[in-house]
Chain A
Amino acid sequence: MVPSANDVGAQGPAEALLYAENVSKRFPGVQALLDIDLTLNRGEVHALVGQNGAGKSTLVKCISGVYPPDGGRITFDGREITTYSPKHAYDLGIAVVHQRPQLLPWLSVTENVMLGQLPARKGLVIDRRKANELTRDLLARLRLEIDPEVPVARLSAPERQQVAIAKALYRQAKLLILDEPTAALDAQRSARLFALIDDLAQQGVGVLYVSHHLEEVFRLADRVTVLRDGRLVATQPTAQLSQDEVVTLMAGHRIAESSLAGSATVAGEAAPALEFCQLETDVLHGVDFVVHQGEVVGVSGLIGAGGHDIARVLFGLDRPTAGRVALNGTTYQPHGPKQAIAQGVFLVPEDPAQDGLVPVLSVAQNVTLVSLKAITRRGVLSLRREREVADRYVGELSIATSSVHTAVRNLSGGNQQKVLLAKSLTSKAAVLVLEEPTQGVDVHAKAEIHRIVRDLASRGKAVMVVSTDIRDLLQFVDRIVALRAGRVVADLPARSTTYAQILDLTVGSVAVPGS
């Protein structure tokens, strides 16, 4: 398929930076890509969208040489790619930030960023000082406040994401591919990334941008390509489309906007499930708020503002230095996840790959991991029960997988997120703490997750959602607790609150009453 004259600004394949033609890729049981065409020009920001499992990451991996396509041709910078290896792609000038990038945890930021090209004295001994200086420069140019000498394992999830971006930009690339780069970033950090992308495009770098956030797509991209079930649905200039139209293209049908905010009327009579009284840790300062039974409370703030730390305290991973948490009216002080779960509190961590899932185990084995007792009969695991439980949640959350026996690492990123949620649903906890539950999931699945969370609340569970995605929170929580620098700056009903209001409060561009 040749791009037709309708494609405003599209150049013929010969001049295009990247020209993929009829690219196909099959995995056992799944046709991940079928006859995909994609043209990307120099200086163009091209968005790639589609539901979870649509094949976006697979296309990215084919272009960047992670695996060769089964069929089709990819031409880059006028030459057909014949050798498929990440190194070859990188040498050609294709830099990639994969979805949930893998870094080497015990190496320093510098070593990760410059891996394979560390400057060496006389070609033998690594020149550590020079390497650190180069990295420091690069990080400064990207306006990232990260110490190049610390091991990556000590960084937070968003910092790791930023290191991965820095790594991709270390050597001047002609094509930059970003696979859901903002999934782990807050508003402030995302804005910095967008400015950077604009700059790069100005300099003639082509950018392929994969995202579920359509605001980002319309903010950044010149054209957008929509995939559905491994097939190309459309490529169009963003100027000619509306967000709704893109959503419809992605789903193949119209999706009603979910707005469940405050739909459950939580009156003052509901008993408090969680109470924080003057909670103090290294990060938190005098945190005070309540989550009632049957209520969904969103906790939002910039990364580092304290949402993650509250979650850690609740799961017994950190001890408060002062103050107290009460669970159903009695003091709650778990020593670790096991005690927390035993007392009916469950945490869905923000980084599924690192903290949430066992990638080599199957979907079924991951889903039932917290509830092994429930599938054990007389000391023996019932594999039939296990399959039933897994089948139920795979159906309920529409997890796209060829079977419940598929290893979780073979699922698309968004579907991994859903497996994590399924796991929390089997825990039977009365208090659920969800960190970034809609990170990386598509519009459709987001609506489903909203519905599921509301449903849990209507069954009397207390749900606390820690998220940096304010827009998303506003759609389904009852109240929003805004955090800034470890302090609660506002506790507002979601129904009467706007995105801008919360953003201002959390970023700190407006004065906070009474602080």
Chain B
Amino acid sequence: MSTETGAGLAPGAARRPASGRSKNVDVYSLWPIAVMVLIIIATALSSPRFLSVFNFENILSQAAPLGIVTMGQCILLISGGLDLSVGYNIAFSSIITGLLLEHNVPLPVAVLAGIAAATAVGFVNGVLAAQGRAHPFIITLGMSIFLFGLDTQLTGGAPVNNMKGLYTAFGSYLPGGFPFFGLPSVTWPFLIVVLLTYGFLRWAPLGRRAYAIGGNEQAAYLSGIPVKRTKIYLYTLMGALVGITGMVLSGQINEASFNLAQNFELQSIACAVIGGTALFGGRGGAFRSLQGVALWGLVQNSILFIGFSSNYQQMALGVIIIIAVMVTRAQR
């Protein structure tokens, strides 16, 4: 008979691992960094100009607007939601600002109005999503189509071509001028948003509520978390980030039009997912999503550097998204 009396183990006591505190370093989650290193080495070998400060700044300023929305998308995905209206909402905010600037409204007022407009759209998304009658996918898709109509109506199809002060602030990243401590000025709103998102998800009660709702909405509700109100806040926050993106992006290219940020909704979701944010909520983080944005920007840039056509960009990005999801799945 196989009887042995387990000597040496504290009877009935909670078992702690012998190895002490095992820090859970998730090797898989670092894969975007590994891929980036490989890409940097490969591209640098084939084109020495790739490793220039100028090109680095170029990547940064191109990735910044997408990066800002990705932070919002990351928060929403964590809460089990998502926003497909960001593309036309970015355009909406820029158009509001652009039209006001055209009518000689002072810059701060025009900017605030643009951000407020996008925030209002986010609020409406939030109110609708909080009702739980339809999936946010459908709600924000509907909102996106609505905004497309509104955007073209407002501009009559013709873009606003002078963003005045915004262009001065964000547009001069072109050769010769990096106005802000040697970095393209768009870096700063981007960096601040990333840090704030990190802090929000880690230290803000609202951020914690987002994780709880995304991880198990029913349990969150039974824990006394105001689920509806939290959702409204989160979508409204997304609206504000969208507004900021609208300002940055329209300033960069000195234009406000309905197709200012086409595909941003899918690209931002892709970046967050590449960084390991779960599509169905509960998991993800700001720095992880940042890795996704960085990888995305790097691939776009390096493929052009190697000299492939931009078609290859799309192909490479497609492959990366699929790998990303499979890696995230494998982790679970």
Contact = CB atoms under 8 A, between A and B. Distances in A.
Interface residues of B, number: 40
Contacts of B205: 372-373, 376, 379, 381
B3 interface: yes
Nearest to B14: A398
A431 B9 CA distance: 38
B53 interface: no
A6 B17 contact: no
B11 A252 contact: yes
A267 interface: no
A394 interface: yes
Contact of B6 (A4, A53, A252, A372): A252
A61 interface: no
B211 interface: yes
Nearest to B18: A31
B133 interface: no
Interface in B200-244: 202-205, 208-209, 211-212, 215-216, 218-226
A315 B222 contact: yes
B2 A398 contact: no
A117 B24 CA distance: 40
A233 B14 contact: no
A358 B212 contact: yes
Contact of B215 (A3, A354, A359): A359
Contact of A253 (B12, B208, B221): B12
A479 B16 CA distance: 38
Contact of A358 (B11, B19, B219): B219
A381 to B, nearest CB: 5
Interface in A117-155: none
A228 B16 CA distance: 14
A431 B6 CA distance: 41
A56 to B, nearest CB: 14
Given A229-B9, A361-B215, A405-B24, A341 B3 contact: no
B interface SS class: loop
B16 to A, nearest CB: 7
A365 B209 CA distance: 10
Nearest to A5: B1
B104 interface: no
B224 A341 contact: yes
A360 B283 CA distance: 7
B329 interface: no
Nearest to B9: A229
B219 A357 contact: yes
A233 B5 contact: yes
B203 A381 contact: yes
Nearest to A382: B203
A88 B1 CA distance: 32
Contacts of A401: 14
A51 B11 CA distance: 11
B6 A229 contact: yes
B61 to A, nearest CB: 32
A360 B215 contact: yes
30 contacts: A1-B2, A51-B12, A228-B9, A229-B6, A231-B4, A231-B6, A233-B5, A233-B6, A234-B1, A236-B3, A252-B6, A252-B9, A253-B11, A253-B12, A337-B222, A354-B218, A355-B219, A358-B215, A358-B219, A360-B278, A361-B211, A369-B219, A372-B205, A379-B204, A381-B202, A383-B203, A402-B16, A403-B22, A405-B24, A423-B223
The 3 closest A-B pairs by CB, nearest first: A358-B215, A252-B11, A29-B17
Interface of B: 1-6, 9, 11-17, 19, 21-22, 24, 202-205, 208-209, 211-212, 215-216, 218-226, 278, 282-283
Given A358-B211, A360-B278, A401-B14, 10 more contacts: A4-B1, A233-B3, A236-B3, A337-B221, A355-B219, A358-B215, A369-B208, A381-B203, A398-B14, A444-B12
